[in-house]
Protein backbone atom coordinates (compact mmCIF):
# COMPACT_ATOMS: atom_id res chain seq x y z
CA UNK A 1 0.00 0.00 0.00
CA UNK A 2 2.88 2.38 0.76
CA UNK A 3 4.42 1.80 -2.70
CA UNK A 4 1.10 2.58 -4.39
CA UNK A 5 0.74 5.73 -2.29
CA UNK A 6 4.23 6.99 -3.24
CA UNK A 7 3.75 6.30 -6.96
CA UNK A 8 0.27 7.88 -6.82
CA UNK A 9 1.63 11.10 -5.34
CA UNK A 10 4.51 11.28 -7.83
CA UNK A 11 2.23 10.78 -10.85
CA UNK A 12 -0.49 13.04 -9.44
CA UNK A 13 2.10 15.70 -8.61
CA UNK A 14 3.43 15.67 -12.17
CA UNK A 15 -0.09 15.77 -13.61
CA UNK A 16 -1.06 18.62 -11.28
CA UNK A 17 2.12 20.52 -12.12
CA UNK A 18 1.36 20.29 -15.85
CA UNK A 19 -2.28 21.29 -15.46
CA UNK A 20 -1.54 24.16 -13.09
CA UNK A 21 1.29 25.26 -15.37
CA UNK A 22 -1.21 25.62 -18.19
CA UNK A 23 -3.87 27.19 -15.95
CA UNK A 24 -1.81 30.13 -14.65
CA UNK A 25 -1.20 31.80 -18.06
CA UNK A 26 -4.91 31.34 -18.83
CA UNK A 27 -6.07 32.88 -15.54
CA UNK A 28 -3.96 35.99 -16.07
CA UNK A 29 -4.52 36.11 -19.86
CA UNK A 30 -0.79 36.18 -20.53
CA UNK A 31 0.52 36.79 -24.02
CA UNK A 32 1.47 33.14 -24.61
CA UNK A 33 -2.10 32.01 -23.84
CA UNK A 34 -3.66 34.78 -25.92
CA UNK A 35 -1.39 33.96 -28.88
CA UNK A 36 -2.27 30.27 -28.68
CA UNK A 37 -6.00 30.97 -28.53
CA UNK A 38 -5.79 33.49 -31.35
CA UNK A 39 -3.95 31.00 -33.61
CA UNK A 40 -6.74 28.47 -33.03
CA UNK A 41 -9.46 31.05 -33.69
CA UNK A 42 -10.83 30.75 -30.14
CA UNK A 43 -12.32 33.69 -28.24
CA UNK A 44 -9.82 35.10 -25.74
CA UNK A 45 -12.52 35.84 -23.15
CA UNK A 46 -12.65 32.09 -22.37
CA UNK A 47 -9.07 32.06 -21.03
CA UNK A 48 -9.71 33.16 -17.42
CA UNK A 49 -12.72 30.85 -17.11
CA UNK A 50 -10.78 27.81 -18.37
CA UNK A 51 -7.77 28.69 -16.24
CA UNK A 52 -9.80 28.99 -13.05
CA UNK A 53 -11.66 25.75 -13.82
CA UNK A 54 -8.33 23.93 -14.34
CA UNK A 55 -6.87 25.36 -11.13
CA UNK A 56 -9.93 24.30 -9.14
CA UNK A 57 -9.69 20.81 -10.66
CA UNK A 58 -6.05 20.57 -9.57
CA UNK A 59 -6.95 21.65 -6.04
CA UNK A 60 -9.74 19.06 -5.95
CA UNK A 61 -7.49 16.16 -6.90
CA UNK A 62 -4.78 17.22 -4.44
CA UNK A 63 -6.97 17.64 -1.35
CA UNK A 64 -7.44 14.36 0.55
CA UNK A 65 -10.97 12.98 0.82
CA UNK A 66 -14.03 14.03 -1.16
CA UNK A 67 -14.06 11.12 -3.64
CA UNK A 68 -17.11 12.37 -5.55
CA UNK A 69 -15.56 15.80 -6.15
CA UNK A 70 -12.32 14.12 -7.29
CA UNK A 71 -14.27 12.11 -9.87
CA UNK A 72 -15.74 15.31 -11.31
CA UNK A 73 -12.36 17.03 -11.21
CA UNK A 74 -10.66 14.21 -13.12
CA UNK A 75 -13.49 14.27 -15.68
CA UNK A 76 -13.22 18.03 -16.10
CA UNK A 77 -9.45 17.94 -16.54
CA UNK A 78 -9.75 15.15 -19.14
CA UNK A 79 -12.41 17.17 -21.00
CA UNK A 80 -10.04 20.14 -20.94
CA UNK A 81 -7.20 18.03 -22.37
CA UNK A 82 -9.44 16.48 -25.02
CA UNK A 83 -10.80 19.88 -26.03
CA UNK A 84 -7.33 21.39 -26.19
CA UNK A 85 -6.00 18.49 -28.28
CA UNK A 86 -8.95 18.67 -30.65
CA UNK A 87 -8.69 22.45 -30.98
CA UNK A 88 -4.96 22.34 -31.73
CA UNK A 89 -5.40 19.56 -34.30
CA UNK A 90 -8.47 21.14 -35.92
CA UNK A 91 -6.72 24.49 -36.28
CA UNK A 92 -4.40 22.89 -38.83
CA UNK A 93 -1.34 22.71 -36.60
CA UNK A 94 1.16 20.01 -37.55
CA UNK A 95 1.08 16.74 -35.59
CA UNK A 96 4.28 17.71 -33.77
CA UNK A 97 2.39 20.63 -32.16
CA UNK A 98 -0.27 18.46 -30.53
CA UNK A 99 1.36 15.04 -30.15
CA UNK A 100 2.90 16.10 -26.81
CA UNK A 101 -0.64 16.03 -25.37
CA UNK A 102 -0.12 12.29 -24.94
CA UNK A 103 1.99 13.07 -21.85
CA UNK A 104 -0.72 14.78 -19.76
CA UNK A 105 -3.26 12.16 -20.91
CA UNK A 106 -0.97 9.37 -19.68
CA UNK A 107 -0.34 11.18 -16.40
CA UNK A 108 -4.09 11.71 -15.94
CA UNK A 109 -4.80 8.03 -16.63
CA UNK A 110 -2.05 6.96 -14.26
CA UNK A 111 -3.19 9.31 -11.49
CA UNK A 112 -6.82 8.26 -11.83
CA UNK A 113 -6.00 4.55 -11.90
CA UNK A 114 -3.70 4.81 -8.89
CA UNK A 115 -6.29 6.91 -7.04
CA UNK A 116 -8.83 4.10 -7.42
CA UNK A 117 -6.25 1.49 -6.49
CA UNK A 118 -5.49 3.42 -3.27
CA UNK A 119 -9.19 3.89 -2.57
CA UNK A 120 -9.80 0.14 -2.93
CA UNK A 121 -6.81 -0.68 -0.72
CA UNK A 122 -8.04 1.70 1.98
CA UNK A 123 -11.56 0.28 1.79
CA UNK A 124 -10.23 -3.27 2.04
CA UNK A 125 -8.27 -2.47 5.19
CA UNK A 126 -9.76 -4.06 8.30
CA UNK A 127 -12.22 -1.77 10.03
CA UNK A 128 -12.71 0.66 7.11
CA UNK A 129 -15.51 1.33 4.65
CA UNK A 130 -16.22 3.94 1.98
CA UNK A 131 -19.35 6.03 2.33
CA UNK A 132 -20.88 7.68 -0.72
CA UNK A 133 -23.90 9.84 -0.05
CA UNK A 134 -25.30 13.17 -1.21
CA UNK A 135 -23.84 15.27 1.59
CA UNK A 136 -20.41 13.73 2.12
CA UNK A 137 -18.18 10.99 0.81
CA UNK A 138 -15.52 9.58 3.07
CA UNK A 139 -13.66 6.58 4.38
CA UNK A 140 -14.57 5.90 7.97
CA UNK A 141 -13.63 3.52 10.75
CA UNK A 142 -16.06 0.72 11.46
CA UNK A 143 -16.28 -1.11 14.76
CA UNK A 144 -15.13 -4.69 14.24
CA UNK A 145 -16.98 -7.18 16.45
Kindly give the interhelix angle for 67-90 and 102-124, rounded to the nearest 10 degrees: 170
Angle at 91 between CA 88 and CA 94, to 5 degrees: 70
Mean pLDDT for the stretch of residues 120-124: 83
Distance of CA 137 to the CA centre of its chain: 19
Give the model's pLDDT for residue 135: 53
pLDDT exceeds cutoff 80 at 74: yes
Minimum mean pLDDT range among 10-14, 16-20, 114-118, 126-130: 126-130
Mean pLDDT for the stretch of residues 4-32: 97
125 pLDDT band, cuts 50/70/90, is confident
Give the model's pLDDT for residue 65: 87
pLDDT exceeds cutoff 70 at 144: no
pLDDT exceeds cutoff 80 at 27: yes
In sign, the C-alpha dihedral spanning 14, 80, 117, 103 is negative
3-class secondary structure, 127: coil
Give pTM, 2 decimals: 0.85
Amino acid sequence: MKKTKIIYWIVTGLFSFMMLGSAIPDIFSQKVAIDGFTKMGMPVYLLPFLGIAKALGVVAILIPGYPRIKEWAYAGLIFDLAGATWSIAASGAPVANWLFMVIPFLLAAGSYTLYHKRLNQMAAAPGKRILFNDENSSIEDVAVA
